[in-house]
Amino acid sequence: MTRASSEEQAAALAQPTGQEADSPAAAEAELQQLRGDSRALALLRDASLLPVLVVLIVFGALVSPYFLQSDNFWGIGQYAASIALITAGEALVLMIGSMDLSLGGTYGFAPMLAAWLVAPASAYGVGLNLNPYAGLVVLLLAGAAVGFVNGLLIVKVHLSAFIVTLGMLIGLAGVQDGLVDGQTISYLPTCFSYIGGNFWGQVPVSLVAAAVVFVVVGLFLRYRRAGRAIYAVGGNAEAARAAGINVDRVKIGVYMAAGVLAAMGGFVEMGRDGAITASQGYSEGIIFIAFASAVIGGVSLLGGKGNMVGVAVGVLVLAVVQNILDLKNVNPFWENAVYGLVILIALVIARFIGDRETQT
């Protein structure tokens, strides 16, 4: 039996089947039940990683007495904030049935460009001494510009998304390194470090900012026509085009939005570290963490499925894993192996819990 949406099932109920419906009231009751079932299943999919997160929290408490302390939890939130922003961007691209590896380059290039324009020459800047707030505008425009170029090459020129974004990733990493000759810019004005490095009481400002972004993106996807068009394009681009959706515009817009979110994520990490290195983003392999967070958070690689609730839980799972590895001082040579194994286990568990109701 194939999977069908609640609307399709409701439409089937409305068709003659050789047996008349008992009454309009009965048909309406069945429709409401189908809608309720659909919402329940969606909630189950959203929460499919929560058991994994609970197990990790219990495990962390067992292996380290420091794990359950509030300072550690807020530290996890601060670490997760920058990853969450770039993951939100990657999730949007996956929802349209594509991918964007260049977000890892934008994550480092955009904040480096802004810092390079703002910092004095003595601090490895270009010496332009640009106003810091103008630098923030440059950072956002740089992210949007990279996404726009990606979108044009992929959507209009019909090049492979994998090859285009991989080439962009490598190119941006080279420019980022070349701007400062491999040096680190430590000169950051207050507005550059405030979001990433400051706290409101014990709460990281970056965590609040990331939560606000997730809420805005989630509401946009759910309630705005353009947001729903993203799911339509990812689910069936030709059907979306036939329904009057400008598919090319949606795709290019998503690439641009993803670039801006990646730039924001890099900006937050820059503020948390108090500096921007020539290797931020690229050498960290941040794009693979973002990709894994989105996928284990329920975003389909085929497009048309996913939401910010699942993505947020996916980010938290990997952030908790990283924290446990740090607390246990796992040998760096083995850290990636453990990290990858946990990702695979989380993915299997999430898929088993979240998708089993769709199997027939």
pTM of the model: 0.85
What is the structure's pLDDT at 47? Answer: 59
What is the structure's pLDDT at 43? Answer: 52
> Which residues of the chain register pLDDT less than 70?
1-48, 349-360
What is the structure's pLDDT at 117? Answer: 96
CA angle, 284 as apex, 316 and 323 as ends, to 5°? 35
What is the structure's pLDDT at 15? Answer: 43
Contacts of 99 (CB under 8 A, 6+ apart): 90, 93, 161, 162, 165, 291
Label each residue of 144-196 as H, E or C.
Answer: HHHHHHHHHHHHHCCCCHHHHHHHHHHHHHHHHHHHCCCCCECCCCHHHHHHH
Architecture of the 50-354 domain: Orthogonal Bundle (1.10)
The span from the first CA to the last CA of the chain, in angstroms, equals 6
